[in-house]
Amino acid sequence: MILEKNDDFSFDPGILPEELKPAAGEFMKLVQARHLYQAAIKEVSTKLEILDDEFKARNDYNPIHHMECRVKSVKSTMEKINRKGFDLCAESMSKITDIAGIRVICNYIDDIYKIAELLLKQSDIELVREKDYIEDPKNNGYRSLHLVVLVPVFLSDKVEKVPVELQIRTVVMDAWASLEHELKYKREETISKTAVKSLKQCAEEMAAVDARMQKIHREL
């Protein structure tokens, strides 16, 4: 299993857009609070690793192919708070649920729902929001299971409940999403309708591959 983490806690106020610079002092608090989100990622990723290890011990099979983790940069967090129209203060962090994110890449569709079910059964995990883009794909063909959960982070003097966003998808879904992002990155205004249609057709074809691979796996 590969676990990628963003441990960059640096913050240079000079990189901020002009409209955000007046709030730079306030958001130094955000820099100091980022360890909470990194800790929350450690909590959830450890839970997932333990579930994956247990599955391997019991069934000789790992449902999780790999995981990718990240904490949104201070600049990106500030920009999102500004776009949402929230007050430019550290307290607005609690209104943003994707500061900490984990992408869980599974082998098969069944694995997605099994991992989600096992995680959500744990007594200290609280489900905030669930969006199933596998059963109901986005208009562009995107497929994934999205969860936002609250996880307790135990500090020296208190317990903080911190949100973590999970995107759980198969290797096939992740391949399409990665390539679609690369093809459309900075081209949203110029990409043709034909290309958009072709990308959606690719998503549908890859979904069919996912289903066939799942069927083969069940038969083995």
Residue keyed to tokens 């744990």: 122
Active site residue 165: yes
Tell me which amino acid residue 112 is.
I
Angle between helices 74-83 and 28-59 in degrees, nearest 10: 100
Residue keyed to tokens 């969860």: 147
Best CA proximity match to 88, nearest among 100, 78, 96, 99: 78
Tokens of 155: 């500090």
How far is 174 from 69, CA to CA, in rounded Å? 14
How far is 10 from 73, CA to CA, in rounded Å? 9
How far is 130 from 200, CA to CA, in rounded Å? 23
Quick one: CA torsion of 92, 158, 67, 121, rounded to 10 degrees? -100
Which residues, in sequence order, are CB contacts of 149 under 8 Å at separation 6+? 44, 119, 120, 125, 126, 127, 128, 163, 164, 166
The catalytically annotated residue of 165, 182, 188, 204 is: 165
Active site positions, annotated: 165
